[in-house]
Amino acid sequence: MEYLPNIIFAIALVVGIGFFTKNVKKLVRNIKLGKEVEVGDNKPQRWKNMAKIALGQTKMVVRPIAGLMHILVYVGFVIINIEVLEIILDGILGTHRLFAPLGGIYDFLIGSFEILALLVIIAVVVFWIRRNGIKLARFVKPEMKGWPKKDGNMILYIEFVLMLLFLTMNAADFRLQQLGAEHYAEAGAFPVSQVIVPLFDGLSTSTLILIERIAWWLHILGILAFLNYLYYSKHLHILLAFPNTYYGKIKPQGEFDNLEAVTNEVKLMMDPSADPFAAAADDAPEPEKFGASDVMDLNWVQLLNAYTCTECGRCTSECPANQTGKKLSPRKIMMDTRDRLEEVGKNIDANKGEFIPDGKQLLDDYISREELWACTTCNACVQACPVSIDPLSIIVEMRRFLVMEQSAAPSELNNMMGNLENNGAPWPFNQMDRLNWAQES
């Protein structure tokens, strides 16, 4: 019975990490459903982007209040979880505050953790008020109803409770140290939790130990549960922000990727020595589908983008189309792509690793044509994203499919293209009549 808690802890740890590993494998599998794309160029710049954007949070502070609050939560959550290492080792070895022999360093670390925990609690409260009290416009858009809103609040509740459990555990521990309880040797500094120690006055040693142990167990089990909740939450960006910023677009934002098949055709047209009627070579690649109508037509970086989306709404709040009342929301584009990818992944799981056509696709079933054609391709959404997501690339690929596979461009665009072909300009006037307006009195 002496080692029963250690055995239970080890089982909980193995189960928690096991489910997390299973989810990671599913995540990687789904992302790899996308097409291959070369993104290995300019590695120094990519590492620099990852360090600045993902680690340094440079794009978060563009909006100072939200940015600073997020940095507090981000830094606090990461640093405080260094303490999780001690909890894990204590749980496995049956020790208590294993790193206490570090002395002054340990006191400094615990004290820093507590201050950060308090700052995280304050930031979480501010975020909750912004989402549910003030109701900022970007948090009440149509795509944020239902699960996205619940998920955002759920994360705030989890972070609040985890930090509260951490402080409660330390407060009970500190009180037990004061009482000289067995196994609770003096260790650590408690600048925040000591404020709530008076709440424990009059409690027996056994009751204090029970409170400390319950808080300890709930804290570590809560972290393991949170780790596995990440896959189903927008907070998956905690893990994916780093690879996403590394593989993010480093070309000029106005530069679009050329289609190899079209490029080769244009080169053939411009080659005076080429025979346009010559048969294609036997080793010539078969024409591929132009653009994208479903998630499997996108490349894996775009699918990584979809999973990395934080649902912060900065892209949508900067979108000129959305600001003028159009249906387009770049955030919704990414959320829809992720939701469709999840649906495809579940289809594969249900059919023993094989995707069985389900009569659905990303185009029309998730993203409407009205949304796609409302985009001005201004790149404001790409610039605004704090983790280098590129909604525009998905919009362009789906437009390509509509134009090149279905000839389904809007009539206004077809008229403009016809005018360019016939008149060399978007207007329905030939070159000789183009300046007639200047002659009018």
pLDDT in tens, 98-157: 888 888 888 988 898 899 899 889 989 999 998 898 888 888 899 999 999 999 999 999
High-pLDDT (> 70) share of the chain, %: 96
Q: Which residues contact 52 (CB under 8 A, 6 or more apart)?
A: 58
**Predicted local confidence at residue 284, as pLDDT:** 52
- Write out residues in the chain with pLDDT < 50, as ranges: none
176-88-220-110 Cα dihedral, nearest 10 degrees: 50
Question: From CA 222, how far away is CA 87, in angstroms rounded?
Answer: 13
Residue 226: both structure tokens together: 């949170």
Q: Is the model's pTM score more than 0.85? A: yes
Q: Which one, of 343, 344, 322, lies nearest residue 395 by Cα?
A: 322
Q: Assess contact for 106 and 187: CB atoms under 8 A.
A: yes
Degrees (nearest 5) of the Cα angle 108, 111, 112? 85
Burial of 177 (0-12, 13-18, 19+ CB in 10 A): middle
What is the DSSP-derived secondary structure letter of residue 357? Answer: P
Spatial separation of the C-alpha atoms in residues 393 and 32, rounded to whole Å: 18
**In contact, 183 and 194? CB cutoff 8 Å:** no
Residue indicated by tokens 């009482």: 179
Q: Can you spell out the DSSP letters for 285-353?
A: PPPPPPS-SSGGGSBHHHHHHHHH-----HHHHH-HHHHTT-S--HHHHHHHHHHHHHHHHHHHHHTTT
For tokens 């704090």, what's the residue?
386
* 314: amino acid identity, one letter: R
DSSP 425: S
Name which of 116, 115, 218, 111 is nearest 162 in CA terms. 218
What pLDDT is attached to residue 49? 93
Neighbours of 407 (CB within 10 A): 8
- 55's CB contacts (< 8 A; 6+ apart) are 242
Burial of 397 (0-12, 13-18, 19+ CB in 10 A): buried
CA distance 260 to 71: 42
pLDDT attached to residue 376: 93
Rg of the chain (C-alpha set): 28
